[in-house]
Structure 1
Amino acid sequence: MEPWELRRAIEAGRATASELGLQVNDVVVIHNSDRVALRLVPCDVLARVAPSGHLADSAFEVKVAHHLADVDAPVAELDPRVEPRVYVRDAFAISLWTYYEPVGSEIAPADYADVFLRHHAALRQIDLDAPHFTDRVAVALREVNDREQSPELPDSVRELLSDTLSGLSAAISIDKARDQLLHGEPHPGNLLNTRRGPLFIDLATCCRGPIEFDLAHAPEEVGKHYADADHDLMHRCRALNWAMFSAWRWRRHDQMPDRDRWRAEGLNQVHAALARCGLG
């Protein structure tokens, strides 16, 4: 968010928690992008604040959290001291979560794979209407193909991303027999190492697809510890994921910090991933 919008988001998060009886003396910005994560102290709440245009996504995330709490999934939980729902204030959608103090050690690949296995098993136990991963690819493809939405995207890059998104999405989705509920974006930034063990966060990306789509977000070593993973499919999913990541960075209204660097890095990763699966 831009500084002026971030200030409003912080105040919306602070005021919402205070009116619910939680003590807020200070606010620490944990993450700032199209939506922000705020640590409210001393009540130790993690407030996720998004523009009201993201209300449906925030509500879906809360719904996913409800379902997964019932099956003891390794995910961050909503704060138990307040009603578990999305609050709307000053054109922002706000949800309140338990804050987990991160521990310093890096999550080993075998432990990362183990939490994947437990999370995927939990997801198989719940009944939830979620989009297919190809729906998300279709959104990225529309952004790439619409010059008004991605005016700075060079023609050669536009063609590369369009071909990669459409071609790999179609190839990966041919066989839906392996599809199940997934996290959707379980990259290292969305897996916290806590005293309770590793916990997934950012549940709004939950979708359906093959488990390799999830595994492709993690470091490559993780997939080697996940039983029965299709490594060729994982490589194709990794190329597709990087193509989607790159598509978002070229959106006219993208607010990711250091966007120019990530534009270049995303394209480098697309080329490397395509070469890895013989499509370069």
Structure 2
Amino acid sequence: MEPVELSRAVAAGRATAAGLGLPVRDVDVVHNSDRVALRLSPCEVLARVAPMGQLADAAFEVEVGRRLADTDAPVAGPDPRVEPRVFVRDTFAVTLWTYHEPVAAPITPADYADVLGRHHAALRHVDLRAPHLTDRVAAALREVNDRERSPELSEADRELLGGTLAGLGAAIGTGSAGEQLLHGEPLPGNLIATRRGPLLVDLATCCRGPVEFDLAHAPEEAERHYEGADHGLTDRCRALNWAMFSAWRWRRADRMPDRDHWRVAGLRRMRAALDRCGPT
């Protein structure tokens, strides 16, 4: 968010928590992108503040967190002191989560695989309507196919990117019996080391698909520690992930920091992942 909008978002997060009886003296910006994450203290709440255009995503994330609250899922869940829902303040959607202080502890590949395995086990006991990963692929493909939305993408790269999204999306999204609810984007930045052990955050990306789709977001070494993983499928999912990542970076409206670098790097990593897959 730009400084003016960020200032309003901070005020919205502070006012929401204070209005619910949670003491707020200090506010620290933990993350700032299209939505912000704020540490509120001394109440130790993590407030996620998003523009109203993301209201549905915020509500879905809270619902995922609420459903997982009674399981052993290794996640940072909604703050139990308040009702788990979206609070509207100013022009923002605000959700309140338990804040977990990060600790300086390494997360090994075995730890990563263990967290994903426990999270997947918990999700198998959750009854929740969630989009299929192919819905996300379709959204990315619309950006690539619309030249007005991605005007700076070269025709050669557009053809490769579109073909990769369509081809791998169809190949992976077969609706097989092994599909289940997933985290959806368990990147290293979404797994934090805490005193409770490693915890997953950012639950709004929950979707349905094979577990290999989650594994493809993790460091490659983690896959060796995940029992029963299909390595070929993980390779295809990794190429698909980089294709989706690249599609978002080439959007005219994308605001990711250092976007020009990641536009090039994303396509390069997609090509490298495709080379590892071989003929599909």
With structure 1 as the length reference, what TM-score do the two structures score?
0.97
Aligned residues: 280
Query: Aligned letter for 2:135?
Result: D
C-alpha contact (below 8 Å) 2:175/2:209 kept by paired residues:
no
- What is the distance in 2 between the residues matched to 1:11 and 1:51? 13
* 1:87-122 Cα deviation digits (max 9, x unpaired): 011111110001101111220001110111111000
* 1:114-155 Cα deviation digits (max 9, x unpaired): 111111000001111111000010001001111121122222
- What is the distance in 1 between the residues matched to 2:27 and 2:230? 44
- What is the distance in 1 between the residues matched to 2:279 and 2:41? 50
C-alpha contact (below 8 Å) 1:184/1:207 kept by paired residues:
yes
Aligned-residue offset at 1:4: 2.0
Unaligned stretches of 5+ residues in structure 2:
none
C-alpha contact (below 8 Å) 1:34/1:254 kept by paired residues:
no
Aligned-residue offset at 1:193: 0.8
Q: State yes or no: 1:248 paired with 2:248.
A: yes
Query: Aligned letter for 1:272?
Result: A
Partner of 2:269: 269
Which segment drifts farther, 6-15 or 195-204?
6-15
- What is the distance in 2 between the residues matched to 1:59 and 1:107? 30
* Runs (4+) off by over 3 Å: none
Aligned-residue offset at 1:242: 0.6
- What is the distance in 2 between the residues matched to 1:46 and 1:77? 10
Query: Aligned letter for 1:75?
Result: V
- What is the distance in 2 between the residues matched to 1:19 and 1:114? 39
Change (3 A) 1:3 1:155: farther
Q: Identical aligned pairs, as a percentage? A: 72
* 1:192-241 Cα deviation digits (max 9, x unpaired): 11110111111111110000000000000000000010000000000000
Alignment partner of 2:225: what SS?
A: coil
> 1:126-275 maps to which residues of 2 (within 5 A)?
126-174=126-174, 176-275=176-275
Aligned-residue offset at 1:3: 2.0
C-alpha contact (below 8 Å) 1:113/1:223 kept by paired residues:
yes
Unaligned stretches of 5+ residues in structure 1:
none
- What is the distance in 2 between the residues matched to 1:206 and 1:144? 23
Change (3 A) 1:106 1:279: farther
C-alpha contact (below 8 Å) 1:191/1:199 kept by paired residues:
yes
Give the superposed CA RMSD: 1.3
Partner of 2:35: 35
C-alpha contact (below 8 Å) 1:151/1:252 kept by paired residues:
yes
* 1:25-77 Cα deviation digits (max 9, x unpaired): 22111111111111112221101111111101100000001111112211101
Alignment partner of 2:121: what SS?
A: helix
C-alpha contact (below 8 Å) 1:172/1:237 kept by paired residues:
yes
Alignment partner of 1:224: what SS?
A: helix
Partner of 2:21: 21
Aligned-residue offset at 1:5: 1.6
Alignment partner of 1:39: what SS?
A: strand
Aligned-residue offset at 1:189: 0.7
Aligned-residue offset at 1:175: 5.2
Aligned-residue offset at 1:257: 1.6
- What is the distance in 2 between the residues matched to 1:34 and 1:78? 20
Partner of 2:121: 121
Alignment partner of 2:56: what SS?
A: helix
Aligned-residue offset at 1:279: 5.0
- What is the distance in 1 between the residues matched to 2:158 and 2:34? 23
